[in-house]
Structure formats: C-alpha cells, structure tokens
C-alpha cells in the first residue's frame, strides 16, 4: 500500500479558494465544496478536498465552530470508502501570516486538542509547513515539514526513518524523524516528518523547535522562508468519521 505522503503530493499547498466566508466570533460556517476557505481570527480554515476525484461517492464537510483572538475550534465529518491508496483531503487551519525567514522566527507556540471517532479510520493527524528560498506563500516549495501526532491503520510518512543520535523530545512527546523526497513534477521538494511514537491528542509546544532542529542538524538553510503552516487531518478511507478540534491555537513571535 502506498505510504500516506507518497499518495498526497500536494495536500497542503494553498490553492485559490472557490469562495470566502467571513466568520465572526461565535459564528459557525459550514463548507462542503472542494476548496472553500473560512477566515477566522488569524486563521484560514480549509475543507481542501484535493483528492476527492478518487472517490466520487465520498463526502466531507468542515465546520468552523468558534473563533476568537488566536483561538479556533472546528470539526470535519467525512466518509470515504473507495481508492484506499489515495488521500482524499486535508482539512486544516492555516495561520494567516506573510512569509518570514526561519532565522527571524523567535517562537511559534501552539496548543492542539483533538478527537477522532468513526469506523475503519486510515490516515493521520498532523501539522504541515512549507519552506522556500523565495518569499512567496505558494509554490515553489523547497521543503515540507510535517509533525505527526497520530496515524491510523499503518499510515506512514514519505521516505525512510533517520537514525538520530538520541531521541528527540519536544513538548513532552518523543518523535522519530523521517526524510524523503516527492515525485518529480508533482511534489519534488524534500520532506521531513516528525512522527510521535505515541498517539498525542493534547499537544502544547513551540513548533519553532522542530524548525531549529532541522536548520542545526539536517542542512535546512536558516535563510529560507516559512511560507505556510497549519494543522489538520489526511484521510484515506473510513466511514462516519468526525474529527474535532477544540481548541487550537498558534501564534508567530518575531
């Protein structure tokens, strides 16, 4: 079976939205189309059904439940039963920032509480970030960095596990590091994936610690730009799934 990230060449890239919904504090917004986006506080919430064509009978809707200053709560409901080797979507909340050099980031604190229910879940729960030598929010990307808090039914990141001199612990969670490269013409950038050894449904940390680890030990240039960073879920297959995020926070210190 194709590893998750090999089947998902462009899961988190920012695409032109089909519509924009403004969501004031306390309001709810429901999105069921392929790529709508809801603006909420300092976040952009995407439904992002980029792989739905592999399962025309499937469906997914993402709901913005609440947003306040720097805090967002949301959930997504989905059923995908066909094409088990294909990722169907990446519903995710992206921090609305301009590109910034990695060396200029003082901190990227985040908290994420989430829950998942459903039958036959196959997929992951992960942060996703993109780096580039260019100060642009969209392609080209040079690096993708994921932080996996959970995987279901054997989903694995792209590439191979990197043997570290000692375990990497961030936010009280032990992570393994994977490294690979996507397919030419689709996602040719390098991919680093930090994978939690245990399922972590409540996480609080500074994401910049992952970035600094890469610049110090894995050759990622510190003068490259953080283009985008968000958090969400990638499903392959499952039914009656409900992924709930409450609350989620992230802020950029520079």
Indicate which residues carry an active-site annotation: 144, 234
Closest among 30, 175, 44, 165 to 97, alpha carbons compared: 44
Per-position b or e across 205-229, b if 16+ CB within 10 A of its CB: bbbbebbbbbbeeeebeeebbbbbb
The tokens describing 165, both together, are 């001199």
Closest Cα to residue 238, out of 93, 126, 124, 112? 124
CA nearest neighbour of 196 among 237, 160, 157: 157
- State in Å, rounded, how far the first CA of the chain is from the last one: 42
CA angle, 9 then 157 then 231, to 5° = 75
| Helices vs. strands in the chain: H and E counts, helices first | 1, 16
Alpha-carbon distance of 75 to 29, in angstroms, equals: 11
CA 131, 5, 231, 46 dihedral sign is positive
């Amino acid at each position: 079976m194709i590893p998750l990230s090999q089947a998902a060449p462009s899961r988190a890239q920012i695409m032109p939205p089909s519509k924009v919904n403004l969501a004031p504090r306390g309001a709810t917004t429901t999105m069921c189309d392929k790529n709508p986006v809801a603006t909420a506080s300092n976040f952009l919430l995407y439904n992002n059904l980029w792989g739905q064509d592999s399962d025309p009978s499937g469906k997914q809707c993402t709901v913005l439940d609440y947003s306040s200053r720097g805090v967002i709560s949301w959930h997504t409901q989905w059923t995908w039963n066909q094409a088990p080797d294909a990722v169907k979507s990446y519903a995710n909340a992206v921090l609305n920032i301009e590109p910034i050099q990695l060396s200029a980031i003082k901190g990227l604190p985040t908290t994420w509480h989430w829950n998942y229910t459903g039958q036959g879940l196959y997929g992951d729960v992960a942060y996703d970030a993109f780096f580039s030598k260019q100060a642009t929010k969209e392609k080209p990307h040079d690096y993708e960095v994921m932080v996996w808090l959970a995987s279901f039914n054997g989903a694995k990141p792209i590439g191979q596990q990197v043997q570290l001199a000692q375990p990497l612990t961030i936010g009280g969670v032990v992570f393994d590091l994977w490294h690979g490269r996507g397919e030419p013409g689709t996602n040719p950038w390098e991919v680093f994936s930090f994978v939690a050894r245990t399922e972590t449904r409540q996480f609080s940390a500074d994401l910049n610690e992952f970035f600094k680890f890469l610049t110090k030990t894995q050759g990622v240039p510190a003068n490259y730009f953080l283009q985008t960073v968000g958090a969400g879920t990638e499903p392959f297959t499952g039914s009656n799934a409900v992924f709930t995020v409450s609350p989620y926070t992230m802020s950029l210190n520079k």
